[in-house]
Chains A and B, each alone.
Chain A
Amino acid sequence: MTALLSIQAVTKVFGGLTAVDNVDVDIAERSITSLIGPNGAGKTTLFNCLTGLHRPEAGEILFDGRSLIGLRPDEITARGVARTYQNIRLFGRMTALENVLVGQHLRLHASHWSAILRSTRQQAEERAARTFALELLAFVGLESHAEVVSTNLPYGEQRLLEVARALGSRPSLLLLDEPAAGMNPSETDRMMELVHRLRDEMGITIFLIEHDMKVVMSVSETVAVLDYGEKIAEGTPEEVRANARVVEAYLGPEVVLQDTADTPNL
């Protein structure tokens, strides 16, 4: 089956330093792919290139067979790519519900005049948006917090809210930047389960950056490894873990052992 997203020889340079160096990654529809690598390997930079925050010096990014290069972030979101952030960036003073409503911005089309006049159509659209937002909150398990101002949510739930906001734009590809960072084990499990449900119930393709090997190994079908901006390996978790270069460049022996211990059911 064809790749939903195909990253071809993308290169991004800051000043003298090549943050992403000629990277190719293909992501199949309805797949869960992880991008791993030590700090500074250029993972988030690659995400920023995908979402239009950065413009790669060279290379091509095809989504649904159309190029994303040079599009504005909002245009890319309109194409169906949504993301979350490594360090949570919610709209702090908005309630959870409002955050998700902003997420739907692109999917609402009532004119501003109709907003002033409260036309029935606009009203209906707003109502639909609200219900959909509540559904999404329920999906990530925040239905009870809809009216809570987002800064007052606990850390883990803020991450969940970011996911819900991203879902607001009805994406077909979701980029998760370290979804489990800073979470305790139970929250992490909740997140992993959510990732699976996103794919299985919503049919959304997932592309995530993660440091926590437990998460990576358990959720992902494909793993790509970046090191100093270069892709040094790609394959199933097993292959990657077996890959000598990855082991010495990234994981390191003791991590391997610990990981195998942690994940017997592979």
Chain B
Amino acid sequence: MNVDWLLTHSPALLIAIPLLAAFLTPVIDRINKKARDAFVIIVLIIAEIIMIALAWDVFTGSAHIYTMGASSPTATIPAQAAVPIRIVLEVDGMSAFMGLISTTVSLAAGFYSLAFVKKETGQGRYYALLLLMLVGMLGMEFTGDIFNLFVFLEVLSMASAALIAYRFYYGDAVEGAFKYCVVSSLGALMVLFAIGLLYGQYDLLNMAALAKVMKYTTLDRIALVLLIAAFAMKCGAVPMHMWTPDSYTVAPAPITAMLVAASQASLYALFRICFSLYGLTLDVTTVGIIIIALGLLSMFVGVTMALPQKDIKRLMSYHAVSQTGYMLLGVGVGLYLLGKPDFDTYGMAAMEGGIFHIINHALYKGLLFLTAGAIFYKVKTRNLNEMGGLAHSMKFTTIFFMIGALAIAGIPPFNGFASKLLIYESAYHVSPILSIIAMLVSIITLASFVKVFHSAFMGPPMENAEEGDVPKSMIIGMAILTVGIILFGLFPGWVVSNIVHPAAQALAAQAGYIGSVAGGA
């Protein structure tokens, strides 16, 4: 039980511990409610600690390979076979980076839930599903096997759909959940069909081994289109964004924060497919332009749809769509330049910007949704016109909201500024219009959040508002994310070179991804 042993097995442990806890939570719930709360929080903290250790090891060393059921974790290819037979987990920089986001947001959501769902029934299963969402995200992020990706995508979608419908007595919650469920199961079936196409041609399921033999035939192209469409739908990019506001709005606030991280897991899958599975065999210019176009559309449509909203969470959901556009733009520019001589000069910077924006978005959007939940907890409405003067009673929430709003608008010294600047600078080299649109969207975002701040927090105190702020556990949940925002905003240089760069490097270097599982590329 030494540190090396723990690090070697940590990819499997990170899946197994929350999974075991999810199976046990309903059992513990029947015995003691307090014990269940403590158990869930302890499990989330353990997951966070193991994840940080694993991520540190990956960022400073090399990718972790874990072969399920083999004689040793690194024995990916059995002696007599030429290809990987068993399921391989491959935790490289990008996977570890996404894993950090998932565990951090889950920890914040776990703390926040303690008070937020205190008055509900069925809490045992609520926490079980929360842990299962974490399992689904980590499973998607760590896996090196394409069918396994589908399985954990389904774990994630089912857990999210069930949690969106947690407050089923509102009616519209179940409706949003149904919509989410239909969209995600159709998307998952498209993914499964694409997996069938790939399997039928190559008789392989391991992503690295597939990438090694990928020929980019007609069937591969059709599979690529299906995969991009399905994952773009799941991450809420614009032509397929209809489900996002509906389901984000009605979910309980901690779950909305988790959903942000969940759609980023789909975004990760999209990037992984484009960069690691297809890589340079695909037509990077065309696919890059498609992804940039998706990004621009998402940014612009999302922010314009957000402006007239009266419902605070609906407004934030449209902003989530718009922010997803920045990530697609940044990484799309990287994909567009992949393999061209310009990649090293500013293509890498664009990828770093896009990837840095993923973690920033998870932190500040998660925080904003949590503050919206705190407001709902206090005043029992999401309508902006019915609230006002909350700054008088909710001091902490006001501060958290201000930090989140300034970060999303890209105001220095918060983290949103750092990643947006990287995207502006590098997208400018491809086409100045990209940067101009991005900046414009950023300004509209600021305007929109000024409006929210004004109508929710300013003005005379509400007559029927209770005194005091929200319970302590909710403040802890929000504080975890706020600390992240401030740290990332104060030391962007350190974060980019030590966390973001390895992640971008892992995506861009396909040969490394293939080499560590399937032998030399």
Binding partners A and B: no
Point out residues on B near A: beta carbons under 8 Å.
none
